[in-house]
Amino acid sequence: MANIPTTQIRNFCIIAHIDHGKSTLADRLLEQTGTVTTREMKSQLLDDLALERQRGITIKARAVAMQCERNGVTYQLNLIDTPGHVDFQYEVSRSLACCEGALLLVDAFQGVEAQTVANAFAAMEHELKIIPVINKIDLIHARPDEVAEEMMNSLGTDPEECLRVSAKTGLGVDDLVDAIIEHVPPPTGDPNGTLQAMVFDSNYDDFRGAITYIRVMEGTVRKGQKIQFLSTGSTHDVVELGQFAPARVATNELAAGQVGYLICNIKSLGDVHIGDTVSIPGDHAAEALLGYDRPRRMVYCGLFPSDGQDFSELRDALERLAVNDPSFEFEPETSDALGFGFRCGFLGLLHMEIVQQRLEQESDVDLVQTAPNVTYEITNKRGETRMIHKPQDVPDPGEIEEFRQPIVRCNIIVPEDYIGAVIKLCQERRGIQKNQEYLGAGRAMITYDIPLAEVIYDLHDKIKSCTRGYGTLDYEMVGYEAADLCRLDILVNGSRVDALSVVCNKADADRRGRAVAKKLKQEIERHMFEVAVQAAIGTRVIARETVPAMRKNVTAKCYGGDISRKKKLLQKQKEGKKRMKAIGSVEISQKAFMAVLSGGDEG
């Protein structure tokens, strides 16, 4: 598989909005080129994570090498299948850096969507050759001509160049393979030059150690040779190398332009960095490649083991996952309520959910997760600016000069019948309208600047609801803006519960404080003394609920007789409860935390 001239190699990826048929088209290409037999074939073959198959979405980008013959010449087609969801944009950017061409896939019924526009512009920035493809033309209600016009209006593609395929039936896939060979330029690079390869992904195998996915830019890497990772300076022997077809197939060498994997018996997870450059050791090593922009984590939350004994297991699981997914970060933290755990940063809410589920499924760790929050910027009275990743770090209101929140630019594509509902929703989220344009008959793109904290919780779900599933959302960070924000604390029996603190707009604080206090009142078990649940901003209490004390009827034995005996017993009980309250501690169960933290809008 390795001995193919550079001129006969084509590296391309498939980019599209979520659910437009990328993984299904990848299946048809694998069949068309004979890479997998009919017996081995199953739908979404490249989505091999259990979670991907369970949810029906692509989470990790996957590489696969295919071979096909045209006019007696054997071509190698290296495909990278990418995710479509906005949270996994970082996976897409890594894939684009390894390709010379991209298939821009658009659904023949749904047309151009928010993520289609974002991915197309990302491909243009990487100067890739874009092949526009309209998929699902076998649908009864397909409208390929209108969609081709939409693509021309929003992306500037020529309607005549749009290939029409059905990934489900295989219609038009043969012409698509011809178009890839004809239009995607072969990689540049000299197989005889100094080795220079980019690490675009990695995985951890319990038996083989770290498996590094590379795209060779210059030179050739051979089995048994010594290589060096330039960012860490570590040197290793190549034990095995090969390509994905789609399973790992070992070869003796990988030359310039090829995509494959390296196994070097790397047991230390810190030695592999995605975006690093692989070269030869010594003074004649190649220059380091630019790599990738560091991913910007948008959402932070605390992950704690539900059983305090599993802390080391959780740390090992997070380290393993970080090798495979460099777009999330973690650092240890402690909480009075939940014990030892980790503060983790994610690209978005779906990314957070996926990481949590992967930890639970792949590493069998039970987790408690705190309320997600975004990163804020604070300037104090001394003029110092600091980033705030968790509400507990917010100083007292008297020390804050300016409190800034992250703002994202949201592109929302909706049918024109639902424009009013979407505008109303964005204004409720304190959005500022920036633009509104029509993509074609009956479809518009509305652009709003909205605080990220208002976007991450449920804006996507709400847009889907108010547009009956037709609206789509894509967002990108634009910067920080000053806002009227505060830290909302929850106090139980006078003590602050750090895990329940949140940063919110002052206008929303009363509503949110009351909602959390009511929820906690229902969840906290009754004690021998009454328990006050309060919501406070600084020292000002804005809401209070009281959990009544358990009461024993101490006057039950006093039937008849003088009333003063009853009063004496009740007074004695009252003093006992007062003493108990002074020394007693309130137990808040994990169940109560989970009920409040998963309370959605109310919490």
Which residues are annotated binding-site positions? 19-24, 135-138
Spell out the alpha helix ranges (H) of 97-141: 114-125
Q: Which residues make Cβ contacts (< 8 Å) with residue 105, sequence separation at least 6?
A: 14, 15, 16, 20, 21, 22, 25, 133, 135
Q: Residue 410, exposed/middle/buried by CB under 10 A (0-12, 13-18, 19+)? A: buried
List the one residue out of 55, 600, 95 whose CA is nearest residue 361.
55
Q: Which residues are annotated as a binding site for GTP?
A: 19-24, 135-138
Collapsing DSSP states into helix, strand and coil, what is residue 175?
helix
CA–CA distance, 395 with 475 (Å, rounded to integer): 30
- Residue at 33: amino acid letter: T
Name which of 585, 496, 493, 484 is nearest 539 in CA terms. Answer: 496
Rounded-to-integer distance, Cα 371 and Cα 390, Å: 10
H helices present in 524-597, as ranges:
563-583, 590-597
346 to each of 90, 211, 269, how far by Cα in Å?
11, 23, 20
Residues 6+ apart with CB under 8 A from 374: 298, 299, 300, 405, 406, 452, 453, 456
Closest CA to 375 of 456, 434, 318: 456
- Determine the Cα–Cα distance for residues 99 and 10; give it in Å rounded to an integer: 8
What does the alpha-carbon distance between residue 288 and residue 588 come to, in Å, rounded to a whole number? 53
Reported residue count of the chain is 603
Phi, psi of 452 (to 5 degrees): -60, -35
Q: Retrieve residue 462's tokens.
A: 């709400």
Q: Are 161 and 132 in contact (CB under 8 A)?
A: yes
Residue 202's nearest CA partner among 342, 31, 327, 358 is 327
Nearest to 31 by CA among 146, 133, 167: 167
Gyration radius of the chain over CA positions: 29
- What residue spans of 251-373 are helical by DSSP H? 311-324, 349-362
Q: How far is the CA of 165 from the CAs of 20, 138, 170, in angstroms?
A: 12, 8, 7
The beta strands (E) that lie in 142-208 are given as 163-164, 196-205
